[in-house]
């Protein structure tokens, strides 16, 4: 290992995942790759490039600085900001020539006013809160009024109408069907009244489970990274995990019975055993809650994490007579030999979702991009 720790990201996997999603939605539906939060920890710019090469036509982010970062490298890309914007952030988003999301009439007016002040004609998407209960207008009548108002005002270009699902990742969820029906009830007549209005609703889970949710554009995040929106094996959907997290064995030490590893002495050797020290910890995004609760691959074999995960190190039990020597590569996420550790496995151990596993990998870990 040339580096203490590295997140290796496969551009080819991202491209292949986008191609697969593009095939799933078909030619009538545009693919928008969601690359917020640094491309879910994979690196926004590189992911964006790979996603565009894989057939995505749009890129979505949550914040104005994220849009500005993409624009600095991708002058032609179609960008959409999904999140709320302060007045100062709105200017940053408009300067980045990103489409913005509106739902409150006062904010829609601010967008038009700031557009005029900046000499731009902002492109806007109206957000309908069909049941997520976060951002967006809940009242269908108010959504219709806002769409009408924007369509009648030359200072802005009305581009889209969208919603977001709360339970698409719960197979068989009735609420998902209800949200889709609620959205279509508002969206279909509005599209008849405003031909060309881009309707979008599906995240990765909805894209994979329900063709009726594809509409004009699918906004896929987690599946682009080859992670399973349902928390299972992404291979079931033909998705390829794009990220691997590697470190190495910095030291191997013999522990006699009773010797402990790490802060708080949360693990003791019960028999003579060797402990490997890996120079990666929660400062890198390997959560402390994995203390005594994870496995690491070395030489293609799984070894348990023992003792407390500290900021910069963790320890693994290599057993009585290990083949492992200092310098051996170690895999926290990814494949080695015939085995692999998925982000979904770590998520299960932590009672969280795979999104949080990769997004938590800190900037201290260099990202290396491979084909």
Ligand X SMILES: Cc1ncc(COP(=O)(O)O)c(C=O)c1O
Binders of ligand X among residues 196 to 215 (CB under 6 A) are: 203-205
CB-wise, 115 or 226, nearer to ligand X? 226
* Distance in Å, CB of 222 to ligand X, minimum: 4
Q: Which of 115, 221, 276, 285 forms a contact with ligand X (CB under 6 A)?
A: 221
Tokens 């209960």 label which residue?
133
CB-wise, 163 or 313, nearer to ligand X? 163
**Binding flag, residue 220, ligand X (CB under 6 A):** yes
127 is catalytic: no
How many Å apart are CA 312 and CA 178, to the nearest integer? 47
* Distance in Å, CB of 150 to ligand X, minimum: 19
263 is catalytic: yes
**Binding flag, residue 219, ligand X (CB under 6 A):** yes
How many Å apart are CA 333 and CA 340, to the nearest integer? 7
**Binding flag, residue 22, ligand X (CB under 6 A):** no
Q: Which of 18, 20, 21, 34 forms a contact with ligand X (CB under 6 A)?
A: 34
Adjacent-strand bridge partners of 162: 127, 200
**Binding flag, residue 237, ligand X (CB under 6 A):** no
How many Å apart are CA 93 and CA 115, to the nearest integer? 11
Site string for ligand X, 305-334 (x = CB under 6 A): ------------------------------
Structure tokens at 128: 């309908």
DSSP code string of 282-321? GGGT--GGGTTS-EEEETTEEEEB-S---SS-EEEEEESS
* Distance in Å, CB of 75 to ligand X, minimum: 24
Q: Which of 22, 160, 229, 322 forms a contact with ligand X (CB under 6 A)?
A: 229
* Distance in Å, CB of 345 to ligand X, minimum: 19
The answer to whether the beta carbons of residues 355 and 40 sit under 8 Å apart is yes
Nearest to 249 by CA among 174, 340, 332, 164: 332
Binders of ligand X among residues 163 to 182 (CB under 6 A) are: 164
Q: Which residue is nearest to ligand X (CB)?
A: 221
CB-wise, 223 or 316, nearer to ligand X? 223
Nearest to 16 by CA among 344, 335, 343, 240: 240
**Which are the contacts of 48, defined by CB distance < 8 A and separation ≥ 6?**
33, 35, 39, 59, 70, 73, 74, 77
Beta strands at 295-298 and 301-304: parallel, antiparallel or unpaired: antiparallel
Number of residues that bind ligand X (CB under 6 A): 12
Q: Which of 56, 222, 306, 347 forms a contact with ligand X (CB under 6 A)?
A: 222
CB-wise, 204 or 273, nearer to ligand X? 204
* Distance in Å, CB of 310 to ligand X, minimum: 31
Structure tokens at 71: 């624009």
Beta strands at 58-61 and 30-34: parallel, antiparallel or unpaired: parallel
How many Å apart are CA 217 and CA 342, to the nearest integer? 29
Residue in 36, 127, 248, 282 annotated catalytic: 36
Site string for ligand X, 74-113 (x = CB under 6 A): --------x-------------------------------
H helix or E strand, kind and range, residue 7: strand 5-10
How many Å apart are CA 261 and CA 314, to the nearest integer? 9
Residue in 127, 263, 355, 369 annotated catalytic: 263
How many Å apart are CA 71 and CA 181, to the nearest integer? 35
* Distance in Å, CB of 61 to ligand X, minimum: 10
* Distance in Å, CB of 128 to ligand X, minimum: 12
The set of catalytic residues is 36, 263
Q: Which residues bind ligand X (CB under 6 A)?
A: 34, 82, 164, 203-205, 219-223, 229
């Amino acid at each position: 290992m040339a580096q203490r720790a590295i997140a290796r990201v496969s551009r080819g996997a991202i491209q292949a995942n986008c191609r697969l999603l593009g095939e799933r939605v078909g030619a009538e539906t545009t693919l928008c790759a969601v690359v917020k939060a640094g491309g879910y920890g994979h690196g926004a710019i590189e992911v964006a490039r790979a996603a565009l090469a894989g057939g995505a036509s749009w890129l979505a982010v949550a914040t104005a600085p994220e849009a500005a970062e993409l624009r600095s490298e991708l002058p032609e890309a179609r960008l959409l900001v999904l999140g709320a914007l302060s007045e100062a952030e709105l200017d940053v988003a408009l300067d980045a020539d990103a489409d913005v999301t509106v739902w409150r009439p006062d904010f829609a007016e601010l967008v038009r006013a700031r557009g005029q002040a900046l000499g731009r004609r902002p492109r806007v998407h109206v957000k309908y809160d069909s049941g997520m209960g976060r951002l967006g207008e809940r009242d269908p009548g108010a959504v219709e009024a806002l769409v009408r108002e924007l369509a009648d005002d030359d200072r802005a270009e009305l581009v889209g109408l969208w919603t977001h699902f709360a339970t698409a990742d719960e197979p068989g969820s009735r609420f998902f069907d209800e949200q889709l029906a609620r959205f279509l009830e508002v969206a279909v007549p509005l599209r008849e009244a405003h031909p060309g209005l881009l309707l979008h609703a599906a995240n990765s889970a909805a894209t994979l489970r329900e063709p009726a949710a594809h509409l004009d554009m699918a906004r896929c995040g987690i599946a682009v990274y080859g992670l399973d929106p349902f928390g299972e094996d992404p291979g079931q959907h033909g998705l390829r995990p794009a990220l691997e997290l590697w470190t190495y064995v910095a030291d191997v030490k013999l522990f006699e019975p009773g010797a402990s590893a790490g802060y708080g002495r949360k693990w003791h050797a019960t028999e003579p055993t060797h402990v490997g020290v890996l120079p990666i910890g929660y400062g890198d995004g390997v959560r402390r809650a994995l203390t005594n609760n994870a496995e690491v691959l070395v030489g293609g074999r799984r070894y348990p994490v023992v003792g407390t995960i500290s900021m910069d190190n963790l320890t693994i039990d290599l057993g009585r007579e290990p083949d492992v020597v200092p310098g051996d590569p170690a895999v926290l996420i990814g494949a080695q030999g015939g085995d692999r550790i998925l982000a979904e496995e770590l998520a299960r151990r932590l009672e969280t979702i795979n999104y949080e596993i990769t997004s938590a990998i800190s900037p201290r870990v260099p990202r290396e991009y491979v084909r």
